Amino acid sequence: MSVRIGRTLPPALAPIGFRNIAGGILAMFMGDKATTAFAEKLKEHFNVKYCYLLSSGKASLALILRALKELYPEKDEVLIPAFTCYSVPAAIFRVGLKIRICDIEPETLDFDYNELAEQLSAERLLCVIPTHLFGVTADIPRVRELVGNRDIPIVEDAAQAMGGEFRGRKVGTLGDVGFFSLERGKAFSTVEGGIIVAGSERIGKALQGQIASTSAYSLKEQVALIIYAVVISVFSRPWLYWIPRSLPFLGLGETLFAPDFSIKRMSGFQAGMTVGWQNRLSKIIGIRVKNAGYLTKSGMKSTGDSELLSSGLVRYPVIVRSNSEKISVLRESDRLGLGGADVFPGTVDTIAGLKGYLVGGTSLKASSIVERMVTFPVHPYVTEADMKRIVGLIRKPAGDARKISEFIKNAEERSR
């Protein structure tokens, strides 16, 4: 990654405003009131009986898995996509379960359903985790059809898809239990945070016990969150983002396998930051849909058909022709500050720390995604001029940097 001084887009972002931070600070003095009120609103919105608020998406997943382990003590394998966020295998590893992977299709980023049908017959399978990667919706009704009458809970990973819909149904409520992430690069953000929504009575109740034994944020930790919220709010603006991005010790954009994350109940500060969340979410999704639509109309083919993309992507995924093209596109995107990113560095089976914890599955198609996928930002700080330049990057034939710059200049002149 080269250091660039000047306007630079973050690859993914849900902007945090000072109003949200002020709301959070006020709520810190309200005890559990703010978290309870937010959970009640979520229950109503998602029409579920159970909703729990935590410190992150991975913390939410870890507690879901602990609850399932308690319900099905004889089972210890979790089936996940071969290409997903490293936090997912980290949460599974953290609770002492084994990982089974299933390949995914480059066209949909969803399971290879032929392989899924086979993997679902594994005897020790505790649950399956379909994932709405980058907000591209996964076909959970199809997973349910394949599960049939076997008792295999569907845990819906909607970490990147809060506010999305699949055929008119709210994402997060299609499985037996679902979770969202409120980290800074997601649909909307409380710095960090996680939400569990459960329609299943059994799982909802089992989770109650898990939540009761989870600790709260200390006052010092909440103050650290306030500082972090202010830093994100200021430095995620494109004119300043180059500063944190050029500090290697911050590790922005790095994906690490880190199972020693903390598991806490959401704090009053985070819950208070959600003031006006429904409006904020629908506004941000509207912008993302519009920006993704612009890229698609300009000829940039994304994975997934328009229905799968209609829920507001947190990143716009594109599969280019070769790994060398991906490298040159990323290099040029870096040089121009366009926020192109390659997200997760490998398939789950390539994570060194998981040796001995993987029990099967394939990743051939997922590896081709790793080789060739680039994602681009569609968040509210992306302007039309940025999008024109992004389109120019992808439309050009792979070549050297000078040719790419010429191509972008020509594309910009043509579109004026």
* Residues of this chain that bind ligand PLP (CB under 6 A): 56-58, 84-85, 87-88, 131, 133, 157, 159-160, 181, 183, 194
Closest residue to ligand PLP in the complex (CB): 57
CB closer to ligand PLP out of 77 and 192: 192
Rounded to whole angstroms, the Cα distance separating 378 from 376 reads 7
CB closer to ligand PLP out of 100 and 396: 100
CB closer to ligand PLP out of 85 and 336: 85
CB closer to ligand PLP out of 14 and 203: 14
Shortest Å distance, C-beta 336 to ligand PLP: 25
Shortest Å distance, C-beta 146 to ligand PLP: 21
Token output for 180: 């969202």
Residue 151, burial from CB neighbour count under 10 angstroms (0-12, 13-18, 19+)? exposed
Q: Tell me the CB-side half-sphere exposure of residue 194, using CA atoms within 13 A.
A: 23
Cβ contact 172:60 at 8 Å: no
Shortest Å distance, C-beta 107 to ligand PLP: 18
Shortest Å distance, C-beta 94 to ligand PLP: 11
- Tokens 């390659």 locate to 342
Shortest Å distance, C-beta 389 to ligand PLP: 26
CB closer to ligand PLP out of 88 and 197: 88
CB closer to ligand PLP out of 258 and 401: 258
**C-alpha pair distances (Å), 113 with each of 74, 144, 154:** 26, 11, 15
Shortest Å distance, C-beta 111 to ligand PLP: 14
Shortest Å distance, C-beta 41 to ligand PLP: 20
Cβ contact 20:275 at 8 Å: yes
Shortest Å distance, C-beta 89 to ligand PLP: 10
- Tokens 């076909």 locate to 139
CB closer to ligand PLP out of 379 and 388: 379
Other C-beta atoms lying within 10 Å of the C-beta of residue 275: 18
CB closer to ligand PLP out of 84 and 137: 84
Shortest Å distance, C-beta 87 to ligand PLP: 4
Residues 6+ positions from 199 with CB-CB distance below 8 Å: 48, 49, 50, 173, 176, 177
Token output for 261: 């994350």
Cβ contact 345:370 at 8 Å: yes
Token output for 248: 């290697």
Phi (first) and psi of residue 99, to 5 degrees = -115, 130
Shortest Å distance, C-beta 54 to ligand PLP: 9
CB closer to ligand PLP out of 12 and 329: 12
CB closer to ligand PLP out of 12 and 387: 12
